[in-house]
Amino acid sequence: MGQKLQTLDYIIFLVYFVIVAGYGYWIYNRKKSKEASTTDFFLAEGSLTWWAIGASLIASNISAEQFVGMSGSGFKMGLAISTYEWMAALTLIIVAVFFIPIYLKNKIHTMPQFLTHRYNETVSMIMAVFWLLLYVVVNLTSILFLGALAVSTISGINFWVCMVSLAVFAIFITLGGMKVIGYTDVIQVFFLILGGLATTYLAMTLVAEQFNADGVIGGFKILVDRAPDHFHMIFDQSNPNYGDLPGLTILIGGMWIVNLNYWGCNQYITQRALGADLPTARNGLLFAAFLKLLMPLIVVFPGIAAYVLHQEGQFQTEMLSNGELNPDNAYPVLLNLLPTGLKGLSFAALTAAIVASLAGKANSISTIFTLDIYHKYINKEADERTQVRIGRYVVLVAMVVAVLISDMLGIDKKGGFQFIQEYTGFVSPGIFAVFILGFFWKRANSNGALAAIIGGFVLSILFKFIPSWGVDLSFLEGMGFATLNPTTGIFEIAFLDRMGFVFLICVLLMVVLADRKESPKALAVDTSMFKPTPGFTMGAMAVCVILTALYTIFW
């Protein structure tokens, strides 16, 4: 493996830190003279431009689980893992057209607030507590753990020093509020894309040199020739990775639940757009959709390149962890091969992704606790300044908790990307059913919502563990809904299919328990709300054309 960071690398990283911190401090001081406001601190109401919203969405979404975990998946299964990124681009357009107008028209600032508005306080409170637990125990903790692991591997600095430093840096950004997060995320995305492209350029160049080809294009052609099995988007049942990405499910099944729940019903994401007007919010999401099309080039292609080079005898020792091949080592291995200076830039890009995600997640935790628990149940008389102060305390507490428990959850054994997807997937089908029917079906009620939330969680656990209880699911193999796990020797329902089944059952529960008449809490939905501007329509069509071409070429 290449040398650790050199003096020039640290200088470049320090310049990055000074730029981001200095810009954030300047933004903070610009609004410091104003009275403390919850809408400004938590939502940056009316102050984020479309490009700041789009950049903040991507900066908060892309983190160590993408750079490390998705590159590792690229090493293992190839371009197919890009479906999480490319389907997200289409999902962002759907959210911009159909979800955001509903939130803005009803002045929704948090997801629990929507549940109160549409259902009742019980549904809202249950989900607020759940989201806090999920964000702290699963998301914040795994991002911090994986980020510290990657930074420690690359820099050689002690793991715990890296973890505490990342937490402190993220707190520094978060305490300034959503406006500071949003605008510093623009710089974070710049470093993220520039450093990520540098690593991809190196990977392609190394492949080209290995096979005496010319340049990046030559390196790409070598990848396609040497690893053709790594350039299929749709797996058939003979593929060993079918259980992770079960065929057409990524186009017509559970992948939609993953994406629509994440991008449309997730405080962590929607918060960036909820403080803007509709045209600005939509254009921000469209900008994020275009950036999403670019992400596989940064986080997946390096993994495929590392796979081809590993097949040629390179990185045989570097790719091992505890004596076994670990695909998640692919990105750090490549990054360590960058020349001095450029390595510092890519190191800054990785750190930017981690810090941006930590800051966004911490702000969402703070928002939900302060607005949906503290102000509603603990101190109803709290003024704006008090709520902002409590929000800052919550950021500190959440980050300290994440640092303390991060090493206890076995994230390194399961893999960060899988860890987040699996534990989020236990509840996302029920949540999405509650939101989508709450949006568009006026007979949905709180009893149905509770049944979907609780029943969805129970069913997810049941479908996950029923094979290990001796139930033979081999009869589902012929329908493409079960695959043999070579490790356990039993047939299991693919993760994404499991989510699809649970979602359909949750919808059925809500229909059975629905009111006979329209609920008095039903949302007023005017079809004119969903009409986009001509410019947005043209951009959305461009995204759809690009996606169609990509899936046609790499089917």
pLDDT 10s digits, 309-366: 888 888 877 777 667 777 877 888 887 777 887 788 777 777 777 877 787 788 888 8
Confidence band, pLDDT 50/70/90 cuts, at residue 1: very low
Start-to-end Cα distance in the chain: 35
According to the 3-state scheme, what is the secondary structure of 94-139? HHHHHHHHHHHHCCCCCHHHHHHHHCCHHHHHHHHHHHHHHHHHHH
Q: Measuring CA to CA, which residue among 299, 43, 85 is closest to residue 192? A: 299
Q: How many residues does the chain have?
A: 555
Tell me the mean pLDDT in the region 413-439.
79
Residues 6+ apart with CB under 8 A from 42: 109, 177, 178, 271, 363, 366, 367, 370, 371, 391
DSSP 515: -
DSSP code per residue over 52-106? HHHHHHHHHH-SHIIIIIIHHHHHHHGGGGGHHHHHHHHHHHHIIIIIHHHHHHT
10 Å Cβ neighbour count for 404?
Answer: 10
What 3-state class would DSSP assign to 320? strand
Q: Phi/psi of residue 494, each to 5°? A: -55, 145
d(C-alpha 125, C-alpha 122), whole Å: 5
pLDDT of residue 70: 84
What is the spatial distance between Cα 299 and Cα 238, in angstroms, rounded to a whole number? 26
Model confidence at 417, pLDDT cuts 50, 70, 90, reads low
Residue 176: pLDDT over 70? no
pLDDT for 114 equals 85
Helical residues (DSSP H) of 96-247, grouped into ranges: 100-105, 111-118, 121-133, 141-155, 159-174, 178-210, 215-226
CA dist., res. 497 & res. 493, Å (int): 7
Question: 255 near 249, Cβ under 8 Å?
Answer: yes
Per-residue model confidence (pLDDT) at position 432: 93
Q: Where are the domains of the chain?
A: 7-21+48-425+525-553
pLDDT at site 47: 55
Q: Quote the pLDDT of residue 329.
A: 79
Contact criterion met (CB below 8 Å) for 286 and 538: no
What is the residue-averaged pLDDT of the chain?
81
Question: 413: pLDDT confidence band, cut at 50, 70 and 90?
Answer: low
Residue 553 phi/psi, 5° resolution? Answer: -70, -45
Question: Other CB atoms closer than 10 Å to residue 517's CB: what's the count?
Answer: 9
- pLDDT number for residue 175: 66
422-450: average pLDDT: 89
At 299, the amino acid letter reads V
How far does Cα 167 stand from its chain's mean position? 19
Cα–Cα distance, 321 to 327 (Å, whole number): 9
Report the share of the chain in percent with pLDDT over 90.
19
pLDDT for 475 equals 65
In angstroms, the Cα distances linking 463 to 122, 134, 501 are 27, 20, 9
What are the pLDDT digits (tens) for 381-402? 777 788 878 888 888 888 898 8
Find where tokens 């102050």 sit: 47
List, for residues 262-283, the tens digit of each pLDDT value. 898 887 677 767 777 889 989 9
State the maximum Cα–Cα separation within the chain, in Å, rounded to a whole number. Answer: 71
pLDDT (tens digit, 9 = 90+) per residue, 356-381? 778 778 888 888 888 778 878 788 77
Cα separation, 192 vs 444, in Å, equals 42
Which letter, b or e, does each residue of 283-315 get, where b requires 16 or more Cβ atoms within 10 Å of its Cβ? bbbbbbbbbbbebbbbbbbbbbbbbbbbeeebb
Residue 154 CA, distance from chain mean position: 23
The pLDDT of residue 520 is above 70: yes
CATH 3.30.70.2860 fits domain 7-21+48-425+525-553:
no
Rounded mean pLDDT, 27-35: 58
DSSP assigned state of 378: I
pTM listed for this prediction? 0.83
- What's the pLDDT score for residue 248? 81
485 DSSP β-pair partners: 490
For residue 552, pLDDT over 90 is answered with: yes
| Confidence at residue 416, expressed as pLDDT on a 0 to 100 scale | 58
